Chain A
Amino acid sequence: MLSALPSRAPELPPRGVRRPSLLGVVGLLVGLASWVVILAPVITLLIELRVGAILAALRAPGALDPAGTSLAASAIALASVVVLGTPLALVIAHHRGWLARLLEAGLLISLLLPPLVVGLLLVFMIGPLTPLGQLLGHLGLSATNTFLALVIAEVYEAVPYYVLAAAAAFGAVDPELELQARLLGESPLRAWRRVVVPNVAGELAAALSIAWARAIGAFGAVVIIAYHPYGLPMQVWVTLNEIGLARALPYALVLLVVALPFPALAYARSRHAAR
């Protein structure tokens, strides 16, 4: 009974099209749920905010000054983090001895310190009555309640995150690549620039994003040593205390909007590097 046999083989899905498994669907749903839970505060912010409240808050005289202060201080802090942190990250990445491990342990300890404690220690370190503070005073500078103090507080809050992430990135680069670049005729510095930097660009961008987020959102150390001039986190805190929650929330949105472009660019760069 040949006619009883199917005349055509069952159609297979086109190549590259896979039917989702039950486990895959469950995993996707769990992932989406996790995303909602993690972003719940941001979602709450967007739900709670009213356009009128945002406009009223931002139209107040000098309302946007903290945004400028935060951007400027964080940009300088980030540059300082890169200048201070990159050589240290390279040392940690390329040395296997006890010294590198000691340096790494020190950074982990500073990471564990609550930012508020960092601020207190900065007072003891560079406050006006300390030798360093007096030295700054002779130079016409002060590291208490000044723009400089804000930058210093942001640097101390951000730098361990950058160094540890950058060290991990540098350590993951195959040393053979740098060796080959030198055998092909490049000096150590140019070999590093032409081979190592492109290979860690994505990871460095991620490290810088983390450092930027820590710097622009710095509050614990800032509230102790740099109450003035107000950056955005301080503006949120002061507005909350003096006026109320409803007027403070628009500044949180401003903080988000001001802080976002750099990590977004870095994310795009790291995705490009990963391709």
Chain B
Amino acid sequence: MLHAEVGIRRGSLQLRAAFEVPEGTVLGVFGPSGAGKTTLLGAIAGFIDLDDGEIRVDGVTLSTPGHTVPLERRGVGLVRQRPALFGHLSVRGNVGFAPRSTEQEVAALLERFGLTELAHRRPRELSGGEAQRVAIARALAAHPRVLLFDEPMTGLDHGLVDEVARAIREAARTCCVVLVEHDFALLARLADSILVLDRGRQLQLASSALLQRAPSSERVASLLGMVGPLVRGRSRWWCWPEKIRFACASSQGPNAEGVIVGEPRFVRGRFEHRVVVGEVGTLSLAAQSPWPPGPVRLELEDPVAIEEGCEEIAGTHERSEAAQSTEVGA
């Protein structure tokens, strides 16, 4: 179990976050640039000192203000966007680099991550996905109690992203994983719970499903990629863009006020509509049935429907569900 209460002041960034990660689970960390995500990983890895708080793993204190256990004795692994493999060693040499690894473990890790065939290759002969798998296997060979990932899938092709994502879930079987990722959809797929950071503040910590259903604030909803607000009476609603579908108001009736059809345009063989959403402006969506052509023709400023109804939209003015999540330093 990773227990972290992190307080760090670095330049203009004041980072405050508190969370726990049980073994075998993945904590996702999400936020815009400058939120403090990488600083948070640096504090857990041990190359950034704490100004406040404490980091413990399985009850053993790793960092407090004024005391940081050295990197080599923390039992924390780190895989970054650049895998930083040792170019002078083969794949097998990289995976077996950790002094604690044994030959049997290295062979097992090569097998587990599909690297046995590549064992004699040099890092420069690997694809991006293969290199990341080697980096993950290398980190696991050191028996880490915590494994940190800092945007390990950035810049990879779609197929390689899936390959690395599987490797991350595989790695999480034996340790606590903290994953920083800027693609929220991917993060939601991989993480058991997600911590949302913004300019050093912890905005929300909740399970992946709960976070998508009930962001704790409009800022969180906006960061996650939801659109809004849709104003209905005194309530303000946010929704996921993919839930918006074109439908004629007269035939089905809009189930969300404030979502109306804007100017259509023809782009690369299909129609796109500018959909006006509440107060935030416009959103481009590919045209879908029934327009065009179809029995129903949408006109400018026609209202359009939200596919699954209001349940899919977070009620950000009420904190009933979101109250289950924690908020620190707000």
Enumerate chain A interface residues (CB-CB to B < 8 A): 174, 176-177, 179-187, 191, 194-195, 198-199, 273
Contacts and interface: CB of A to CB of B under 8 A. Distances in A.
Contact of A174 (B74, B78, B84): B84
Contact of A199 (B74, B78, B87): B87
Interface string B141-185: 110000000000000000000000000000000000000000000
Given A177-B86, A184-B139, 16 more contacts: A174-B84, A176-B80, A176-B82, A177-B84, A180-B78, A180-B86, A182-B70, A183-B45, A183-B78, A184-B98, A184-B142, A185-B142, A195-B86, A198-B88, A199-B87, A199-B88
Contacts of B100: 185
B155 to A, nearest CB: 16
A199 B47 CA distance: 23
B77 interface: yes
Contacts of B82: 176
B84 A176 contact: yes
8 contacts: A176-B80, A177-B86, A180-B84, A180-B86, A180-B138, A182-B71, A184-B98, A199-B87
A179 B86 contact: no
B59 interface: no
Interface residues of B, number: 23
Contacts of B87: 199
B281 to A, nearest CB: 41
B164 to A, nearest CB: 17
Contacts of A195: 86
Interface string B292-306: 000000000000000
Contacts, number: 53
Contacts of B71: 179, 182-183
A186 B141 CA distance: 13
Contacts of B11: none
A275 to B, nearest CB: 9
A183 B86 contact: no
A183 B72 contact: yes
B263 to A, nearest CB: 48
A182 to B, nearest CB: 4
B97 interface: yes
A175 to B, nearest CB: 9
Main secondary structure of the interface of B (DSSP, over half): loop
A183 B74 CA distance: 8
Residue of A174, A180, A182 ringed by the most chain B CB atoms within 10 A = A180
Interface string B62-88: 000000001110101110101010111
A183 B138 CA distance: 11
B99 interface: yes
Contacts of A199: 87-88
Interface string B103-136: 0000000000000000000000000000000000
A174 B71 CA distance: 17
A222 B76 CA distance: 55
A187 B98 CA distance: 11
A92 B162 CA distance: 43
A272 B141 CA distance: 29
A169 to B, nearest CB: 14
| Residue among B74, B88, B100 with most chain A CB within 10 A | B88
B88 to A, nearest CB: 4
B77 to A, nearest CB: 6
Given A177-B84, A199-B88, A184 B97 contact: yes
Given A176-B84, A180-B78, A195-B86, A186 B47 contact: no
B133 to A, nearest CB: 15
Contacts of A177: 84, 86
A180 B131 CA distance: 14
Contacts of A183: 45, 71-72, 74, 76-78, 139, 142
Contacts of A179: 47, 71, 78, 84
A177 B83 CA distance: 9
List of 4 A-B pairs having minimum Cβ-Cβ separation, nearest first? A176-B84, A182-B71, A184-B98, A198-B88
Nearest to B87: A199
Contacts of B74: 183
B131 to A, nearest CB: 13
Contacts of B78: 179-180, 183
Contacts of B45: 183
Contacts of A273: 88
B99 A186 contact: yes
A176 to B, nearest CB: 4
A183 B44 CA distance: 11
Nearest to B73: A185
Nearest to A175: B84
B35 to A, nearest CB: 22
A191 B73 CA distance: 13
Interface centre among A174, A184, A273 (most CB of B within 10 A): A184
Interface in B220-276: none
A125 B71 CA distance: 45
A63 to B, nearest CB: 45
